[in-house]
Chain A
Amino acid sequence: MNPLSLKKISFAKILNSTGLLVLVLLWILPTVGLLVSSFRDKDQLALTGWWTALSTAERNEFRRTGIPEDQYERDGKYVISGKLLEPGGKIIQTFSTNFRKLTANTAGETATFKDGSLFTLQENGDYEWISAVPFKHKRGKRIFYVAKVPPTFSLDNYREVLASEGVGQSFINTLKVTIPATVIPIMIASFAAYAFAWMKFPGRQLLFVFVVGLLVVPLQMSLIPLLSMYNDIGNYFGVAAKSYPGIWMAHTGFGLPLAIYLLRNYMGSLPPEIIESARIDGATHFQIFTRLVLPLSVPALASFCIFQFLWVWNDLLVALVFLGKKDEQIVLTSKLRELLGSRGDNWEILTSSAFISIVVPLLVFFALQRYFVRGLVTGSVKS
């Protein structure tokens, strides 16, 4: 290989790597921004970009000193002392009693106030205020200061949304929807798929084609009739129109065509000899299905399981139609959408809530990526 082509190849390689790197960064940075922000202090989050999260910020604040009740005598003088800062690593740079002259005194220095009292403020926020005559002010005196704020990360935002914003309850609600809405369709579909694959009955082929044909029906077609049907049933029997069993059945109905289609194809490709020999040995269809076909179909079941799980967990539309918006029924996606409306500027709440809603799918996704990809490649007909 001559030097020129070697150079050319390595140039192409560098271009290739950089191009890919840029794409990957573009793809992950939005999520990284969300994740970093969700751990930031909420005041810092509202003021500076998430990319500055690791740098130290300067902030202007004020605090009040103690009141006269706190004073004590020392060497014939009156003293109020205490801490202006809560522990958290802030470092005071300069301070003043006038917010227009923030840099009047440096931390550690002693300032003389108008009434002749002496005020000393340390970097860590400890202060000592000494006067020759007793203190008589009513409220604590305001001390303005410039502090260096080191980057702080905490779980405070998560604590807040889980406890007081109701996101924790939504998380449980989502689980309550997702688990049955994943297990039930798989169960029902695998029985049906077995019947289509290995049982003999009139009209089998026609019925199967019809079920596959239902794949073309978009969700939107079902919503209006089902909504009024649920309301009618609710009114007629005096039960809640919006309920968990209601949404489980809806998700099951919508997921069935694809599930039956994929599972029938998989079960149909199992070698007929095993099933025949089991029949000859006197096994019933129920036994063959539960003891033989089901264990053999685990890969297909797993793929569909992940698929359905992610679909139900991430669904918003079905939840909006079939579940209420009260605390005991609202799911994560619906909650998140509500927060986007009501707390649109409180990014500490939005970022942490969003992360709570995506963490389970992400874990499932990274742990079972291989099955997911397989399901996707075979299931790419699903809309």
Chain B
Amino acid sequence: MDALIAVVSGIGVCVLYFAGSNYLLERIFSNAKGFSSSKDQWRRAIQPWLFLAPALFLLSVYLVYPVFETIRLSFFNFGGFGFVGLKNYIWAFGNPEFMLAIYNNLLWLVFVPALSVVFGLLVAVLADKVSWGTIAKSLIFMPMAISFVGASVIWKFVYDYRGPEIEQIGSLNAFVMLFGAEPQAWITLPFWNNFFLMIILTWIQTGFAMVIFSAALRGIPEESLEAARIDGANEIQIFFKIMIPQIVVTIMVVWTTITIIVLKIFDIVLAMTNGQWNTEVLANLMFDWMFRGGGDSGRGSVIALMIMIAVIPIMVWNISNFRKEEEER
């Protein structure tokens, strides 16, 4: 009940602002008593800012100010009071945990976009050729709706490990035992555990890649495929020589979009290992430093900046690409 009240009042305040401020504006600068052009001008000058004010306010508070503040804090000590110059940066690059996080992020960066793109393409192509393709695509797309934490639970259950003397209830261990292999505690397996975490994100992102590729493949003119078939090309040749070159820009967009998600990957690592067993990544390390020992804003900020520096060039490329496509449309 009080949840309902909170929800309604939250939205109500917002509605009230827009309706109320515009009502007031019309009243104050009303031109009802004859045509008063100066009042009209005033109203025209003010109204856009009434429309924009909440957006600009929130953007400044939640995005613009924090960027400058984070940059400032990265040069200050843990409480944000004493200026320490580049000390936090020097600490970061000499810190094994930080370097491990960078190394793991690079691993993620290589494998997750690549695997998602490959599987996404594969499903998009295969599903186009069977009658139940729509259902297949829908099912593979489904993980997109599941939260990273929910997905972590799903996969932790798959990776579940019991001692070799009792029955395994995790699918993966039961599967490897079919082939006579020993059950493993996958999540704590050094180095390889990173891949078991990456599988989760790949599982989610393949659906995204598939949907975008499916739309792009449908844009390839049927005649060019037909012509190639008549010339005797087989399906594999058609795929590599005709389809891929036609959608190469789309592949790049999907690749970079997943790359950005990977750079910020946090939930899966936090839920599965919290960075233990050498699975640390930047976003999780940053979150850790936000609260470790009461929070170290200096070190946390340095890590946040690293993420931002990695994201910006890819994002800029992506947006400009997207705008180009929009204009062509």
Could you tell me which A residues sit within 8 Å of B by CB distance? 12-13, 16-17, 19-20, 23-24, 27-31, 33-34, 37, 45-51, 172-173, 175-176, 179-180, 183-184, 187-189, 191-192, 194-196, 199-201, 204, 207, 211-212, 214-228, 244-245, 248-250, 252-254, 256-257, 260, 265, 284-286, 289, 310, 313-317, 320-321, 332-333, 336-337, 340, 347, 350-351, 353-354, 357-358, 361-362, 364-366, 369, 372-373, 376-377, 380-381, 383
Determine the chain B residues whose CB is within 8 A of the CB of A321 once the complex forms: 290
Chain B residues in 8 Å Cβ range of A351: 153, 157
Cα–Cα, bound, A271→B74 (Å): 48
* Top 8 A-B pairs, shortest CB-CB distance: A253-B62, A314-B147, A365-B145, A225-B69, A192-B55, A195-B51, A222-B66, A354-B153
The answer on a CB contact under 8 Å between A224 and B304 is yes
- Given the known A-B contacts A27-B139, A48-B169, A183-B11, are A222 and B62 also in contact in the complex, defined by CB atoms under 8 Å? yes
Q: Is the CB of B158 within 8 A of A33?
A: yes
Q: Which residues of A contact B155 (CB under 8 A)?
A: 30
Q: Is B270 an interface residue (CB 8 A)?
A: yes
**Which residues of B from 140 to 168 have beta carbons under 8 Å from A?**
140-150, 152-158, 160, 167-168
Measured between beta carbons, the chain A residues less than 8 angstroms from B139 are: 24, 27-28
Nearest CB to that of B43 among chain A residues?
A: A284
Distance of A357 from chain B, by nearest CB (Å): 5
Which of A188, A351, A372 is the most central at the interface, judged by chain B CB atoms within 10 Å of its CB?
A188
Interface of A is mostly: helix
Contact across chains for A220 and B308 when beta carbons are under 8 A apart: yes
**B73 near A49 (CB under 8 angstroms)?**
no
Of the listed stretches B84-92, B101-109, B207-215, B240-248, chain A binds B207-215
B residues near A, CB below 8 A?
3, 6-7, 10-11, 14-15, 18, 22, 26, 44-45, 47-49, 51-52, 54-56, 58-59, 61-67, 69-70, 73, 80, 119, 122-123, 126-127, 129-130, 133, 136, 138-150, 152-158, 160, 167-171, 174, 203, 206, 208, 211-212, 215, 235, 253-254, 257, 260-261, 263-264, 266-267, 270-271, 283, 286-287, 290, 295, 297, 300-301, 303-305, 307-308, 311-312, 315-316, 318-319, 322, 326
Contacts A184-B10, A218-B308, A380-B254; A225 near B261 (Cβ below 8 A): no
- List the B side residues contacting A347 at CB < 8 Å: 157, 160, 169
Chain B neighbourhood of A191, CB < 8 A: 18, 51-52, 54-55
How many whole Å from A223's CB to the nearest CB in chain B? 6
Q: For B311, give the chain A residue with the smallest CB separation.
A: A218
Q: Are B153 and A244 in contact (CB under 8 A)?
A: no
**B48 near A201 (CB under 8 angstroms)?**
yes
Inter-chain CA distance A310–B37, complex, in Å, is 47
**Measured between C-beta atoms, what is the minimum distance from B88 to chain A in Å?**
12
Give the complex CA separation of A313 and B148 in angstroms: 11
Across-interface contacts of B129 in A (CB, < 8 A): 13, 16
